[in-house]
Each structure stands twice: as structure tokens, then as C-alpha cells.
């Protein structure tokens, strides 16, 4: 046994648990923890400009890093409250992050001391565990339990609050004999897998819905193998996008009210059986439950028991990790394939592919100002299959999900349920940390981009290169579109005549307000502005060149038409299509990549 400060024990535990990527801001009440990180040197720390930004960086890192857990660190008081939005975004999407806060001394916690806030009570509803550690000897156990909880069952965040006197106290601790606690992972039985396959093979038009749990479990390869073995098309959810490549012959498109494809919704409506794996039947995916479930048999597989039946009662439910369930399903399906007892779904799969080829939304517009559809068309052509996209909310995210293409797991990083404005930029920095050397492209509307724009300086300081495409219509576009139902356009315009931007008849951007190019450059990054659709390809190429040369974030600001209505609705059989469907391949070049293997 060795006598050491509790913070030294905590840092050694982080290293042994493999959590060595931290994002945060030092402060008086957390400085002992920072001194331990400095002394041991095994944890890399990225200095954020805002603690909420640090929490989103840790979130982005965990989503991208395939098993590693990001850490967010802050001092007492407002640092903890700043983390709450980050905890909400992580909890909502089943992402493990560890938030560590400093705290006033134990004896001062009930005396309204400076920056002494009950962060444990505030954070509890948004975490798997929130704990103010009042006894120094409990610190190792608290960290040990935190990692077990973050990794067990449905993943999620934990907050540990450390009073400064607890941080400074000495305890006896032996890191050499420390062992992580075992992780509980429920697994589908053979009987359950057989029952699920019996229900599937009794249908004529089955679908597999692949949720984020498939990606969390690292089970995308098993999902594709099962789909191919059965010949059954796959619908990824927004969080499961990339579990099957978009250009796979059995990729049926996304279903839902907003982030969906017309061919995906039409295929779902033609189905008679659905097996959902690692998904939670989110309302933007299902729309009205009666429409979604009518005429279909459902099997639901999820790692969290309380998810089964939460939104609607399936015909059969299985509590299981997605990877374990897929392995069980594959074992039974392989045996039935050898015995020749699997149905032939090739006609159904051909029907799905024909619908996919026919029901593409038009993207090829030449108008000025630029229509957003053209931006996503050009992004597909410029960035390719190896790109990881990062986006959070708004018309930009909705249209991007309708028109971009994703070709692998963890290549679409999205704050799905919470959708906090400002998440995209800092999350992208975390993704870059989690995917060193890979191509990362963020997508924001101008309002999302402005929320935490200061974090661009973090990318410049620490050389975290990524491309941030900002589609600027100087509007709160999604809110403006939703206000149509109230026949108003109220406080959703961001436009003004910037006194620092001279009027120029040749500039489409004049009157759009904030000069994002100047702001980005002032924060140490590079930026390019595009005002004409024919210049998009060259701008993206220039951005890649600047990225390689300077190793900092590169902003590509695209000046859009002020008002564009993007396809959405309140029922999956009632999505409003505001633009025409493509009638020729030239109208929908984005379809070329997605249909290569059809």
C-alpha cells in the first residue's frame, strides 16, 4: 500500500480504466486534481473556453472513440451547472462521459459558501450516478463504481463532485492490485432468438430497424451479416445511421417525420414485420404510434429492460445487448440456412431497391442564393465515404440527414434526443481527438454555429483540424418553418446590416449580419465563403488544402437563400414534400453514391 492524496489515486484509476482524454477548465476548487494530472502525466487535457463546450467535447470523443470514455473537468459552482446540458445530451443518447467537479470544503457545504452548489442533486436526473464524495477513503470506490455504471447496461454519464479538502486528504491505496468491476451485459438466449426468427420468417415483408445500440455494441458487422443471410432490408435510425452502409443493396433508408427518406417511409408502410435492435422508438422516427404500428408485428430487442414497452407494446420483447442478440440470431439463422428453411425475400428486397431508385429528392439546383439541397449534393461528391459527419439540430441537420450519405458506424455523430444548439463545434473537436488523422466534417446552421463559436480557438490552439460547413440563411430556419402553423415569422430572423460590412451589389451575403469568416479568422482558424453553387466544389477543395497546411479548423460558410422549407410532417404517411422529387439522375446526383451497389 502507498500513502497518497485521493486525487493521485483517482488519476491512477482513470489511467488504469483507459480514460485518458480530458477536456475542461482548471479553477481554485479543482486545482488539486489538476496537480495530480500534471504529476502523473498519463492523461491528455484539452483546455476549453467554456465548461459546457468541454462537456460536449467529452461527449463527441466518447461517441467517436469506440469504447473509450471522455472526461470533463471543472471547478465548483457554475462549472458544474454549465455541464448540465452536456450531461443531458449524453444521457439522452446513451453516451458514457465522466464529469468531475471541484467543490467547497465539506464543512462549508451547508453554509452557502462561495460557489458551493448542490451539484449532486442537480445532476442526478441526468446521470446514471451523481455523487458528492464526502469521505476521502470513498474516492477510489466512487471512481470504480462510476466506470462500472457507465459501461453496464444502457451506457450513460456519471458526475463525481470532489470537495477540495477531500481532494487534498491522504489515503492508503494500491493501484497495482486495482481491478475494474465486472460489467453486466444481458444476452439473448437461443430460445429467444428462435422465437424472434419464427416471427420474422412468418412474414412476407420484414424489416430490421437498427438503432444506436448496434453501434454502441460494435455490432455493425453482425447486423450486416444477418441482413445478408436473411435477405431482409435494414432501416437505420438516426442514431444507428452507418450501421449498414448507405450504398449496401439492403439499406432501405431512414424512416420518420424529419430525418427520413421518402423511399424509407414508403418501404416501412409496405412492411408487415419489424424487428428493432438497440433502438428506442423515438417520436421523430415513429410519428403517430397508430400509423406506425398498424398492420405490423413487432419484436423489440434492447439492453435496457424498461425500454421494452415504453413507447408501445411489442409483440415480443428481448432484453439483450445488441451484439449478443445478433450473435444469437446469426447462430440460429445459419442453422436454418443450411437446412434450407429460410424464406426467399429477394422479391421484397428488389421492390425496396426499386423504390429507393425512384423516390429520390431533387438536389441539383443552380439558383442564387444557393439552395441548401445543392450544398449536400456537393458535400457528398467532395468528401467521400471515409468522412465522419458531426451535426446536432435545425434545418441543416434535418436536410443533411435526408441528403448526405454515411458509409460506416461512428461516421454520423449526432446529438439526437437533446439536440442542444452549440453542440456541433465542440463535439467535433472531441471527435477529432477520438479519431486522429481521420476526416471530420461538421455541419451547422448559422445559429447553432454562433452558440459556442468561441471553441474554435480550442481547435486553433491544440491543432484539431476539421472542416465546419456553416449553411447561413440568417434565420432560425427550423423555428421559422414551425411558426408557419401560427401564421407568423416572429423573432426568428438574424439578419441586420453589419456596420463593418460595406454594401456590395456583387455580394449575396450583404445584410446577413454576422461575418462568420472574420470571426473564425479572429479565433485563429481559416475560413472560406461561398455565394454561388458552381463554386462549392472549389471551396470544399480549398478547405481540404487549408486543413492539410495549417492543421486548424476550417470554416466553409455557404450563403443560402433566406427561406427554404425542408420535407417533414406529423405522420410517416403525411410528410410534406416542399420540393419536387428528382425525375432524372442529373437532378439527384446524391443518389449516385447510394445506389452504386443496387
pLDDT band at 584, cuts 50/70/90?
low
Q: H or E element: which one contains 590? A: helix 590-594
Q: How many whole angstroms separate alpha carbon 134 and alpha carbon 130?
A: 13
Q: Which CATH superfamily, name and number, covers 2-177?
A: Thiamin diphosphate (ThDP)-binding fold, Pyr/PP domains (3.40.50.970)
Residue 109: other Cβ atoms inside 10 A = 18
* CATH 3.40.50.300 applies to domain 372-566: no
Per domain, the residue ranges of the chain are 2-177, 190-358, 372-566
Residues 6+ away with beta carbon under 8 Å from 294: none
pLDDT band at 585, cuts 50/70/90?
low
Query: Is the separation of the CB atoms in 213 and 324 below 8 Å?
Result: no
pTM of the model: 0.94
- Cis check for the bond before 272: say yes or no (omega within 30 of 0): no
Higher-confidence residue of 361 and 46: namely: 46
Minimal CA–CA distance to 241: which of 220, 268, 263?
Answer: 220
Q: How many whole angstroms separate alpha carbon 350 and alpha carbon 395?
A: 32
Segment 123-180, tens digit of pLDDT: 999 999 999 999 999 999 999 999 999 999 999 999 999 999 999 999 999 999 999 9
Q: Which three cell numbers stand for residue 98?
A: 465522466
Query: 482524454: which residue's cell?
Result: 21
Question: b/e map of 348-384 (b: 16 or more CB within 10 Å)?
Answer: bbeebbebbeebbbbbbbeeebbbbbbbbbbbbebbe
Query: Is the separation of the CB atoms in 527 and 557 below 8 Å?
Result: yes
Instruction: Give yes or no for residue 505 having a pLDDT over 60.
Output: no
Higher-confidence residue of 588 and 413: namely: 413
Q: Tell me if 2-177 shares its fold with 190-358.
A: yes
- The third-level CATH classification (topology) of the domain covering 190-358 is Rossmann fold (3.40.50)
Q: What percent of the chain has pLDDT over 90?
A: 80
What pLDDT is stored for residue 504 in this prediction? 67
Residue 398's φ and ψ, nearest 5 degrees, are -65, -50
Instruction: Give yes or no for residue 488 having a pLDDT over 90.
Output: no
Q: How many whole angstroms separate alpha carbon 145 and alpha carbon 158?
A: 10
Query: Is the separation of the CB atoms in 236 and 261 below 8 Å?
Result: no
Q: How many whole angstroms separate alpha carbon 193 and alpha carbon 175?
A: 42
Q: How many whole angstroms separate alpha carbon 409 and alpha carbon 407?
A: 7
Segment 77-95, tens digit of pLDDT: 999 999 999 999 999 999 9
Instruction: Give yes or no for residue 111 having a pLDDT over 70.
Output: yes
Segment 34-90, tens digit of pLDDT: 999 999 989 999 999 999 999 999 999 999 988 899 999 999 999 999 999 999 999
First CA to last CA distance, the chain: 63
Residue 584: other Cβ atoms inside 10 A = 9
pLDDT band at 594, cuts 50/70/90?
very low
Average pLDDT over residues 103-116: 83
Q: How many whole angstroms separate alpha carbon 12 and alpha carbon 233?
A: 47
Residue 252's φ and ψ, nearest 5 degrees, are -100, 0
Angle, vertex CA 496, rays to CA 494 and CA 499, nearest 5: 140
Amino acid at each position: 500500500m502507498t500513502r497518497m492524496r485521493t486525487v493521485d489515486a483517482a488519476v491512477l484509476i482513470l489511467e488504469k480504466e483507459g480514460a485518458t482524454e480530458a477536456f475542461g477548465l482548471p479553477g481554485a476548487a479543482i486545482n488539486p486534481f489538476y496537480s495530480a494530472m500534471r504529476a502523473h502525466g498519463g492523461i491528455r487535457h484539452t483546455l476549453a473556453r467554456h465548461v459546457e463546450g468541454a462537456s460536449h467535447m467529452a461527449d463527441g470523443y466518447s461517441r467517436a472513440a469506440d469504447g473509450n470514455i471522455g472526461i470533463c473537468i471543472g471547478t465548483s459552482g457554475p462549472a458544474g451547472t454549465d455541464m448540465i446540458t452536456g450531461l443531458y445530451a449524453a444521457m439522452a443518447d446513451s453516451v458514457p462521459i465522466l464529469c468531475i467537479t471541484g467543490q467547497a470544503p465539506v464543512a462549508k457545504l451547508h453554509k452557502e459558501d462561495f460557489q458551493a452548489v448542490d451539484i449532486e442533486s442537480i445532476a442526478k436526473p441526468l446521470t446514471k450516478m451523481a455523487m458528492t464524495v464526502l469521505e476521502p477513503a470513498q474516492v477510489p470506490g466512487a471512481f470504480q463504481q462510476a466506470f462500472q455504471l457507465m459501461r453496464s447496461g444502457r451506457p450513460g454519464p456519471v458526475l463525481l463532485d470532489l470537495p477540495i479538502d477531500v481532494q487534498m486528504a491522504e489515503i492508503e491505496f494500491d493501484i497495482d492490485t486495482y481491478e475494474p468491476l465486472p460489467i453486466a451485459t444481458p444476452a439473448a438466449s437461443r430460445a429467444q432468438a428462435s422465437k424472434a426468427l419464427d416471427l420474422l420468417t412468418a412474414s412476407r415483408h420484414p424489416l430490421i430497424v437498427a438503432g444506436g445500440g448496434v453501434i454502441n455494441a460494435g455490432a455493425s458487422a453482425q447486423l450486416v451479416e444477418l441482413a445478408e443471410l436473411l435477405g431482409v432490408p435494414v432501416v437505420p435510425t438516426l442514431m444507428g445511421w452507418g450501421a449498414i452502409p448507405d450504398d449496401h443493396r439492403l439499406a432501405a433508408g431512414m424512416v420518420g417525420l424529419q430525418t427520413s427518406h421518402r423511399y424509407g417511409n414508403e418501404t416501412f408502410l409496405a412492411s408487415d414485420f419489424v424487428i428493432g435492435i438497440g433502438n428506442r422508438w423515438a417520436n421523430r422516427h415513429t410519428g403517430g404510434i397508430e400509423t406506425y404500428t398498424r398492420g405490423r408485428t413487432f419484436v423489440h430487442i434492447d439492453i435496457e429492460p424498461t425500454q421494452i414497452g415504453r413507447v408501445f407494446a411489442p409483440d415480443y420483447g428481448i432484453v439483450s445487448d445488441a451484439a449478443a442478440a445478433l450473435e444469437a440470431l446469426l447462430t440460429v439463422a445459419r442453422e436454418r440456412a443450411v437446412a434450407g428453411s429460410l424464406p426467399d425475400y429477394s422479391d421484397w428486397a428488389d421492390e425496396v431497391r426499386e423504390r429507393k431508385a425512384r423516390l429520390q429528392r431533387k438536389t441539383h439546383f443552380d439558383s442564387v442564393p444557393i439552395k441548401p439541397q445543392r450544398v449536400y449534393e456537393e458535400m457528398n461528391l467532395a468528401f467521400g465515404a471515409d468522412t465522419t459527419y458531426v451535426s446536432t439540430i435545425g434545418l441543416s441537420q434535418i436536410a443533411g440527414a435526408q441528403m448526405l450519405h454515411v458509409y460506416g458506424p461512428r461516421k454520423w455523430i449526432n446529438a439526437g434526443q437533446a439536440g442542444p444548439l452549440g453542440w456541433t463545434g465542440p463535439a467535433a473537436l472531441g471527435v477529432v481527438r477520438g479519431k486522429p488523422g481521420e476526416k471530420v466534417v461538421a455541419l451547422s446552421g448559422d445559429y447553432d454555429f454562433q452558440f459556442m463559436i468561441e471553441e474554435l480557438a480550442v481547435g486553433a490552439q491544440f491543432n484539431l483540424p476539421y472542416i465546419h460547413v456553416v449553411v447561413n440563411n440568417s434565420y432560425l430556419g427550423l423555428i421559422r418553418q414551425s411558426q408557419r402553423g401560427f401564421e407568423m415569422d416572429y423573432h426568428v430572423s438574424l439578419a441586420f446590416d453589419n456596420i463593418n460590412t460595406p454594401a456590395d451589389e456583387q455580394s449575396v451575403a450583404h445584410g446577413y449580419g454576422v461575418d462568420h469568416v472574420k470571426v473564425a479568422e479572429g479565433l485563429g482558424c481559416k475560413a472560406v465563403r461561398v455565394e454561388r453553387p458552381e463554386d462549392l466544389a472549389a471551396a470544399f477543395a480549398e478547405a481540404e488544402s487549408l486543413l492539410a497546411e495549417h492543421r486548424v479548423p476550417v470554416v466553409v460558410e455557404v450563403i443560402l437563400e433566406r427561406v427554404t422549407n425542408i420535407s417533414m410532417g406529423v405522420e410517416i404517411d403525411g410528410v410534406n414534400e416542399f420540393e419536387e422529387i428528382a425525375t432524372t439522375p442529373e437532378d439527384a446526383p446524391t443518389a449516385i453514391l447510394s445506389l452504386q451497389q443496387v
